[in-house]
Amino acid sequence: MKTRHLIAAALLFVLVATSTLAGPPLVCHVFDIGSATSLPWIGDNWNLTGSESYDTGNLPADTLAILDNDSAVLVHMETLRRAALYGQKNPVALKQLVIRLKMRSDSATTDLANFDLGYLAAVLGQLHWIYKDSSNPAQALDAYTLVKKALAGQPNNAQLQFAAALITLNGPAADHLQYAQSAIAGAKSDPLLARNLSNHFRGTDSETMAQVISRSVETKVARQ
């Protein structure tokens, strides 16, 4: 009975946190990547329009080509967000992408290889909150551990800190505080990150991304 109550409380906490944001941020927020190349996208909304002509059979190869040719973490974040959404139309291609990212991470050629696998796992986990029947071939992976491995190799990468701050919106609170503070401080010398932090989560009436991670920090610290 006690275990059941703890699970129910945890689920309630997640629902309250995400409902405040009107959706999970890794999925429902479009990241600004400037003129960088990513997977093709049409429309201004966060989701697919249904009129896309992109061949999802190319998803694994196209995604990896973008990730391998651009070191900007924000480009990786937006590309993996798009890949997760396209993958709902082609679960086989999505599974192949996860497998290839896992092989790439296991070879440990770059810190971002760990980040990409962990971040996609986190995106797919949040996508499942929206679409309960959505495909999640990364459900067995520990997203946060993989992202922390990337951070260990690039501790001064403010864009990585921003990604980690979003992943830890529901805790651990102490880690989240550090990531949020580092991301906001690092944005002073990173115009693209600064632009993303000043962008609103969903529409001009919503909080900016800086406010999202800062407000969450205040809430977590107050509860500890």
Q: What is the pLDDT of residues 134-175, one digit of tens each?
A: 779 999 999 999 999 999 999 999 999 999 999 999 999 999
Strand ranges for the chain from DSSP E: none
pLDDT at residue 41 greater than cutoff 60: yes
Q: Give domain status of residue 71, yes or no.
A: yes
- The Cα 219–Cα 222 span in angstroms is 5
Number of domains in the chain: 2
Q: How far is CA 201 from the centre of its chain?
A: 13
Q: Give domain status of residue 98, yes or no.
A: yes
Q: Is residue 220 within 8 Å of residue 171, measured between CB atoms?
A: yes
Give the pLDDT confidence score for residue 88 in this predicted structure: 93
Q: Domain check: are 66 and 139 in the same one? A: yes
Owning domain of residue 101: 54-154
Q: Domain check: are 173 and 206 in the same one? A: yes
Q: Domain check: are 69 and 114 in the same one? A: yes
Domain finish residue from 93, 122, 154: 154
Q: Is residue 152 within 8 Å of residue 144, measured between CB atoms?
A: no
Give the mean pLDDT of 61-76: 98
Domain finish residue from 123, 154, 185: 154
Q: Is residue 184 within 8 Å of residue 214, measured between CB atoms?
A: yes
Q: Domain check: are 75 and 126 in the same one? A: yes
Give the pLDDT confidence score for residue 216 in this predicted structure: 62
Side chain identity at residue 45, one-letter code: N
Q: Domain check: are 74 and 107 in the same one? A: yes
Q: Domain check: are 63 and 139 in the same one? A: yes
Confidence of residue 131 (pLDDT cuts 50, 70, 90): confident
Q: What backbone phi and psi angles, to 5 degrees, belong to 115?
A: -60, -45
pLDDT tens column, 164-207: 999 999 999 999 999 999 999 999 999 999 999 999 997 788 89
Best-predicted range by mean pLDDT among 19-28, 47-56, 159-168?
159-168
Q: Domain check: are 161 and 139 in the same one? A: no
Q: What is the largest distance, in Å, between two alpha-carbon atoms of the chain?
A: 53
Over its C-alpha atoms, the chain yields an Rg (Å, rounded) of 17
